[in-house]
Amino acid sequence: MKNRKMIRKMISNKDEAIGSDFKPYILSNTITKLCILLIILIGSLILINDVNKLAFISPSLLFIILGFSILAILLFLSYFIRSSISLGQKLKIYSIYDTISFCFVTINLILFIILFIFVPTEVSGSSMQESFYNKDKLLVWHIGYSPKRDDVVIIDVNEHYSFHKEETFFIKRVVAQEGDKVSFIDGVFYVNDTKVSTAVNNIQFKTMTSYESKSILENGILKKGFSIVMGDNRYNSIDSRYIGAINNDDIEGKVIFRYYSKEGNFGFPKKKIKE
């Protein structure tokens, strides 16, 4: 009997020792997760006005899960510090909590990324063939983006340009950016004196260099805040030739990666196409 009691006491002491060794780690790990969630919360509040319209989740969902996650971690931290149970028992409880809290942090990070940074979207139609195909799945970069020539972009065409009744986004390539020299000579569209396309007529050139029926050219130079876009499939694309120049505020982001395709290759978009 005495030997059994001694063994139990030794085991108990060992658990206490292990718990004591891990206490600083448990506290620091918990505080680190809490800090990550707070950073996500602050970042979300700062970027709330820049929520990508392509995102298929509501910012309110992120804030609800964030609030619940932060509350859960704070409650555990309070329990861990104040509870009178042995450190060995706390360690067992922590192993369960650690898994759950890791899931909380991961979910919040994924939601934040989808809302504000890399937004998944899908191609509908053939206007960007041979670069992108119908049903291709893409990632769109949104934060701090300004259009550059040859970028493939996603455009919100609902307010100013679209005759579609449903929510509509176009995927097109930027062929001219603000500050570029554009011209139309002998049936050829030029940007900075470089041939871009022959699939443009005189009427279309006037359309693509105007916004809300007003010219956006100054001495042949594209005004600040506007871009001209075209589909890579020139003869099957509704683009600036028909809807006019694009206000940069209506460009939701840049396509940076194709992660699924039945017909094309995975990876980054082509920089240029052959006319």
| Rounded Cα gap, residues 193 and 110, in angstroms | 44
Q: Which two tokens stand for residue 211?
A: 């916004």
Per-residue pLDDT of the chain (275 residues; tens, 9 = 90+): 444 444 344 434 544 544 555 667 777 888 899 999 999 999 999 888 878 788 778 888 889 999 999 998 888 888 777 776 666 677 777 788 888 899 999 999 999 988 888 888 889 889 998 889 999 999 999 888 899 999 999 998 877 766 555 667 899 999 999 999 999 999 899 999 999 988 899 999 999 999 988 999 998 999 999 999 999 999 999 999 999 999 999 999 999 999 999 887 788 777 665 55
Return the domain boundaries, the chain: 2-116, 119-260
Q: What is the model's pTM?
A: 0.78
pLDDT for the residue 115: 86
Judge whether 172 and 230 are in contact, CB under 8 Å: yes
pLDDT for the residue 89: 74
pLDDT for the residue 18: 47
Strand partners, 267: 258
pLDDT for the residue 4: 43
Radius of gyration of the chain (CA): 28
pLDDT for the residue 273: 58
Does the domain at 119-260 match CATH 3.20.20.70? Answer given as no
pLDDT for the residue 50: 78
pLDDT for the residue 254: 94
Q: Is 1 strand, coil or helix?
A: coil
pLDDT for the residue 6: 45
SS3 for 169-204 is EEEEEEEECCCCEEEEECCEEEECCEEEECCCCHHH
- CA quadruple 246, 249, 254, 260: dihedral sign: negative
